[in-house]
Structure 1
Amino acid sequence: MNLVLIIIIGGILGWLASMVMRTDAQQGIFLNIVVGIVGALLAGFLLNPLIGGGNITAGDFSISALFVSFLGALVLLAIVNLFRRGSVR
């Protein structure tokens, strides 16, 4: 059940991050899920020691964990845009 929640919330966070970074037209639902989950993992390794809070991949679905995972998805999309276009946008 926890894996299903991670996929659903990862998809929503990836979709929101792609809306903010204006890459939603280029991505489908599968890529949104991947961006959300990988962004949450990135946030767990890089942002959690700096900001604190939980991580959705560890099963913590609090507001702080969702925010940190959302920031991780934004950072991931910014890195992808930097390599793809040469600018963060």
Structure 2
Amino acid sequence: MGIISWIVLGLIAGAIAKFIMPGNDPGGFFVTIIIGIVGAVIGGFIATQLGLGGLDGFSWHSLIVAILGSLVLLVGYRMIKRA
């Protein structure tokens, strides 16, 4: 999948990550969406490098990778901002 696809998927993943991990995040909903985009791109890159299947086109696999990347980045962001 191209970088634009990961960005669009990141918008969705960021919203889902905010739904899964609700809370009063520093920066609010829009920062969570940006974290979703960055998390999706990072998750897609790592999954591709690890050989976890071809991430060509939209699939449940790519959505899960994007959500997991977003959640990991959201947890890290919360830990840094609250410290």
TM-score by length of 1: 0.65
Structure with larger RCO (C-alpha < 8 A, sep 6+): 2
Structure 1's 38 and 14: CA in aligned 2 closer, same or farther, altered over 3 A? Answer: same
Structure 1's 62 and 81: CA in aligned 2 closer, same or farther, altered over 3 A? Answer: same
Q: CA deviation at 1:60?
A: 2.4
Percent of pairs identical after alignment? 36
RMSD after superposition: 2.7
Structure 1 residue ranges without an equivalent (≥5): none
Q: What is the aligned residue count? A: 78
Deviations 1:33-58 (A, max 9, x none): 32222011111233x117x1455xxx
Runs of 4+, deviation exceeding 6 Å = none
Structure 1's 78 and 53: CA in aligned 2 closer, same or farther, altered over 3 A? Answer: farther
Structure 1's 40 and 53: CA in aligned 2 closer, same or farther, altered over 3 A? Answer: farther
